[in-house]
Amino acid sequence: GALSDLVLETAGLTKEFRGFIAVKDVNLKVRRGSIHALIGPNGAGKTTVFNLLTKFLQPSGGTVKFNERDITRAKPADIARMGVVRSFQISAVFPHLTVLENVRVALQARSPKVFHFWRSVRELDHLDGRAKELVEDVGLGPFLHTPAVELSYGRKRALEIATTLALDPELMLLDEPTQGMGHEDVGRIIELIRRIRTGRTILMVEHNMSVVSGLSDTITVLQRGQILAEGPYETVSKNPAVIEAYMGT
Ligand code: ADP
């Protein structure tokens, strides 16, 4: 049948750490093709939600559905294979490989069979073409042959996103994509996320409000493990409870 409008849906998602409830009864609905931001003060439970979605943690209660399939008990590798990939999770950047080589390695990791001993030259060419495309997509075209170690911090993060894209995720989870970045790099990452959103859904944890407002279709605000507010930036940012949550911490 037709795919549901929701790519990801949690129901009653709960996580308890030895009596402390870090995530409580969260019903998160992520629309297909949207950029969805998860925000909230420190300790609100954002990282725990990400860990529950990627199966780094097992929930104490509730369910997680991806494309209407119950993935509550799936393993991290299964989730990745289904198309849910968290940046900086699977993809590591090798400092002494060039930008192109790093992306090529990530592409190889995705389809190991192609790299059989008697792989054809055509397959290698194809892979090289795809690697170059990905490097262009994240704006690193001029740095194709630059070793990763020589890239600026912001460009290194862009390279990490390229290696994540190599896995062709349907749902991409971005963990504070602009963390620690200067103004210029933040602008580049915003452009990058706009470029790569086509055909995918992006769920991100982000603290920088100009990034959140500039990119997100929907924002979910967490506070003390629960959803405090949800909606587009215009309404969420005017919500008195949200304003108070941010001022009160
Ligand atoms: P955020 O990412 O929004 O800052 P976290 O998900 O990291 O919040 O944490 C939510 C709450 O759960 C915090 O109070 C934190 O101390 C607690 N917490 C997170 N992980 C653990 C753990 N492994 N054991 C105990 N408490 C934890």
* Strands 171-175, 84-86: pairing kind: parallel
Instruction: Answer whether residue 189 is part of any domain.
Output: no
Tell me: do 179 and 82 sit in the same domain: yes
How far is the centre of ligand 1, averaged over its atoms, from the C-alpha of 17 (Å)? 9
Closest listed residue to residue 191, CA positions, set 231, 228, 146, 161: 161
Domains contained in the chain, number: 2
Tell me: do 121 and 66 sit in the same domain: no
Instruction: Answer whether residue 191 is part of any domain.
Output: no
How far is the centre of ligand 1, averaged over its atoms, from the C-alpha of 188 (Å)? 30
Instruction: Answer whether residue 192 is part of any domain.
Output: no
Query: In this predicted model, what pLDDT tens digit does every residue of 65-122 receive, in sequence order?
Result: 999 999 999 998 889 889 999 886 555 789 999 999 999 988 887 765 545 555 666 6
Distance CA(86)–CA(193), nearest Å, equals 14
- Structural domain containing residue 135: 91-166
Tell me: do 66 and 100 sit in the same domain: no
Instruction: Answer whether residue 179 is part of any domain.
Output: yes
Percent of the chain residues topping a pLDDT of 70: 91
Q: What is the CATH number of the domain that holds 29?
A: 3.40.50.300
Distance CA(140)–CA(179), nearest Å, equals 19
52 CB under 6 A from ligand 1? no
The ipTM assigned to this model is 0.98
Tell me: do 96 and 158 sit in the same domain: yes
Instruction: Answer whether residue 190 is part of any domain.
Output: no
Tell me: do 75 and 21 sit in the same domain: yes
- The protein residue whose alpha carbon is closest to atom 27 in ligand 1 is 17
Tell me: do 178 and 143 sit in the same domain: no
Contact 103, 131 (CB under 8 A): yes
91 CB under 6 A from ligand 1? no
Instruction: Answer whether residue 9 is part of any domain.
Output: yes
- The protein residue whose alpha carbon is closest to atom 7 in ligand 1 is 47
- The protein residue whose alpha carbon is closest to atom 12 in ligand 1 is 22
How far is the centre of ligand 1, averaged over its atoms, from the C-alpha of 184 (Å)? 31
Mutate to test the pocket of ligand 1, among 13, 15, 16, 17 (most ligand atoms within 8 A of CB): 17
Tell me: do 119 and 239 sit in the same domain: no
The pTM (predicted TM-score) of the whole model is 0.91
- Range 136-164 average pLDDT: 93
Tell me: do 77 and 14 sit in the same domain: yes
Tell me: do 83 and 95 sit in the same domain: no
DSSP state of 135: H
- Range 125-133 average pLDDT: 89
Tell me: do 16 and 71 sit in the same domain: yes
Tell me: do 179 and 81 sit in the same domain: yes
How far is the centre of ligand 1, averaged over its atoms, from the C-alpha of 223 (Å)? 12
Look at the alpha carbons of 102, 105, 109, 114 in this order and tell me if their dihedral is positive or negative.
positive
42 CB under 6 A from ligand 1? yes
Comparing 4-13, 62-71, 148-157, which segment has the lowest mean pLDDT? 148-157
Tell me: do 232 and 249 sit in the same domain: yes
